[in-house]
Amino acid sequence: MRVRGLLALVLSLTLPGCGFAWRALKRNLSAPPERTVAHKIVDPRRPEAKLAALWVGHATVLVQLDDRFVLTDPVFDHTLSQASPRLVEPGLDPARLPPLAAVVVSHMHFDHLSFGSLDWVEQRTPIVLVPPGVRSNMPRYDFEIRELETWASYEHDGLRVTAVPVQHVGGRYALDAAFETRAFTGYVFEYHGLSVYFGGDTAYIPSAFQATRARFPNLSLALLPICPDAPRDFMQYTHESPDQALDAFTLLGAQQMIPIHFDTYINSDDALGACPRELRARMQARGLSDEQVPILAIGEQRVLIAK
Amino acid sequence: MSPAVAVGIWSVAQLIPSPLLVIGKEHVGGGVRWQLTPLLYSFGIAERPVRSFLISPIARHSGSVELHVSPEWACCAPDERSSWLVRAGLRLYLPLLEHGEKLSWSVGASYYRTAGARGDNGGSADLGIFTFHGAFGLNVTVSPWLTRREVITALTIRLF
């Protein structure tokens, strides 16, 4: 897996890699103004839900497991790394976040780890879980920052969060991808008989999904990235295509899947709407229903299992 | 990846110079500056506060004190004096926005010595502001006794 990450890094330094970066920069410079979310949810607590998910945008999802809340990769930034403007405003005002049992961060890229956004959750969570190598690259906060090795767990008050294998690339400032070769992960959250998989940002690695299923055979929900897809020869080492996300869903054996990581920031050659459109087409071909794979709009909350 | 390759990548990044605008009493010129940090103590980082040479931008810009060494070539030295000099000093970085990743500032003091047998030496003070996770910044160095190079403004470029 590390070899694939290294390959991705080397590719990014080649002419096609630089060409892709230049196209992404041009698209970002001409990005439309940030779209607002109509009927934004004010109180995300759903007393009638055993399992609910609210897609805040990109990889940020507020997951309700019974009476506990877990927030994934909190990014409420209007501009990423001072270069990439947000296309749609966050689907939840961070001031409206409920008390959180835990926050998980999948890796250090700017679209997944925002130091400013963590200020918003600082007084709302006791702990932020991160992959190995990330803690020494984070500023001080009031919450505990705990690194989890693959298959290691954090347990508190009935909630268990386990780090699970994915394939991506570590680092935050480009060059440190060479040093941070283990700084990415996925997670599984378990509480009151529910289990939720969060893929963060990952390439399609069947062995990782199979290993996760072997340990978590009854996943209620899989949050899986479906974008960026293009250019595929460049993205294949670090990102799943929509079709591969459905393969991952099958390999994980989850009951439902919510696609994430699309149409929030420009970080690829994909046209807006292309990834969910492709996902719908592939779902149809496989006979998957909207019940099994609900494609949420940013700011939309879905009760997946009622009490 | 082997440590040697990682250090090699970092070393190449350090070769990128920061361009200088040299302002003397009667002229304006240019120059270049490199910078190394043998030791840094970060009081803004969550873990491993003491760093050496290979320093994550967030460790520096979230709040830190560094010992730096800066070779530079600043034009227009007086006759028979070298335009090369080296500075060594202490610099304090403080965050302004998003733990310093978006915006931070610095204040420092350094000692300089010009190259050559008849090298001059003296003291300087500097003030800086940095953005884009510290990759770019402006740093103004004032050296009252450094003839013809009293004020130097650097467009600092530092990749990691």
What secondary structure does DSSP assign to B134-151, as a single string?
TTEEEEEEE-TTSTT-SE
Rounded distance between C-alpha atoms, residue A301 and residue A103, angstroms: 18
Q: How many Cβ atoms from other residues are within 10 Å of residue A41's Cβ?
A: 18
Task: Choose, out of A113, A173, A181, the residue to mutate when testing the contact with B (most B CBs < 10 Å).
Answer: A173
Token pair listed for B51: 């760093």
Burial class (CB in 10 A: 0-12, 13-18, 19+), A4: middle
Interchain pair A115, B58: CB under 8 A: yes
Which one of A116, A137, A138 has the shortest CB-CB distance to B98? Answer: A116
Residue A66 DSSP SS3 = coil
Give the DSSP letter of residue B99: G
User: Span B125-139, mean pLDDT?
Assistant: 96
Burial class (CB in 10 A: 0-12, 13-18, 19+), A90: buried
Strands A144-147 and A127-130, by their bridges, are parallel
The pLDDT score that the predictor gives to residue A198 is: 98
Rounded distance between C-alpha atoms, residue B53 and residue B68, angstroms: 9
Rounded distance between C-alpha atoms, residue A199 and residue A188, angstroms: 9
Assess B94–A contact: CB distance below 8 Å, yes or no: no
Global pTM reads 0.92
Token pair listed for B66: 């560094």
> Which residues are A209's β-sheet partners?
none
Token pair listed for A111: 């679209």
> Which residues are B93's β-sheet partners?
B64, B106
Residue A3 DSSP SS3 = helix
Residues found in chain A: 307
* Neighboring chain A residues of B46 at a CB cutoff of 8 Å: 135-136, 138-141, 145
Q: A100 and A116 in contact (C-beta within 8 Å)?
A: no
Interchain pair B58, A139: CB under 8 A: yes
Assess A95–B contact: CB distance below 8 Å, yes or no: no
Rounded distance between C-alpha atoms, residue B116 and residue B139, angstroms: 26
Rounded distance between C-alpha atoms, residue A285 and residue A274, angstroms: 17
Query: Closest residue of A to B1, CA-based?
Result: A178
Residue A52 DSSP SS3 = strand
**Residue whose token pair is 């283990």:** A182
Q: How many CB pairs under 8 A join A and B?
A: 74
Rounded distance between C-alpha atoms, residue A294 and residue A290, angstroms: 5
Interchain pair B160, A140: CB under 8 A: no
User: Span B125-135, mean pLDDT?
Assistant: 96
**Whether the predicted pLDDT of B80 surpasses 80:** no
Task: Choose, out of B10, B48, B98, the residue to mutate when testing the contact with A (most A CBs < 10 Å).
Answer: B98
Query: Closest residue of B to A4, CA-based?
Result: B1
Assess A141–B contact: CB distance below 8 Å, yes or no: yes
Q: How many Cβ atoms from other residues are within 10 Å of residue A104's Cβ?
A: 25
The pLDDT score that the predictor gives to residue A1 is: 47
Interchain pair A172, B58: CB under 8 A: yes
Rounded distance between C-alpha atoms, residue B146 and residue B77, angstroms: 9
* Neighboring chain A residues of B6 at a CB cutoff of 8 Å: 178-179
H-type alpha helices, A30-138: 115-121
Q: A87 and A289 in contact (C-beta within 8 Å)?
A: no
* Neighboring chain B residues of A178 at a CB cutoff of 8 Å: 1, 5-6, 9-10
B8-60: per-residue pLDDT in tens? 888 888 899 999 999 887 889 999 999 999 999 999 999 999 999 999 999 99
B52/chain A closest Cα distance in angstroms:
14
A82/chain B closest Cα distance in angstroms:
7
B133/chain A closest Cα distance in angstroms:
8
Interchain pair A172, B5: CB under 8 A: no
pLDDT along chain A (307 residues), means of 10: 52 64 81 90 97 98 98 95 91 97 97 96 97 96 98 97 95 85 96 97 96 98 93 86 97 98 89 94 97 97 96
Interchain pair A173, B160: CB under 8 A: yes
A25/chain B closest Cα distance in angstroms:
15
A147/chain B closest Cα distance in angstroms:
11
Q: A35 and A88 in contact (C-beta within 8 Å)?
A: yes
B86-124: per-residue pLDDT in tens? 999 999 999 999 999 999 999 999 999 998 877 789 999
B138/chain A closest Cα distance in angstroms:
17
Q: Is A125 left (phi over 0), alpha (psi -120 to 50) or beta?
A: beta
Which ipTM value was assigned to this complex? Answer: 0.90
Concatenating the DSSP letter of every residue in B47-77 gives S--EE-SS--HHHHHTSEEEEEEEEEEES-P
* Neighboring chain B residues of A137 at a CB cutoff of 8 Å: 45, 56, 58-59
Rounded distance between C-alpha atoms, residue B58 and residue B54, angstroms: 12
Q: Residue A179 is which amino acid?
A: F
Q: A26 and A77 in contact (C-beta within 8 Å)?
A: no
Rounded distance between C-alpha atoms, residue A77 and residue A116, angstroms: 8
Rounded distance between C-alpha atoms, residue A27 and residue B149, angstroms: 42
Token pair listed for B33: 């500056």
Assess A41–B contact: CB distance below 8 Å, yes or no: no
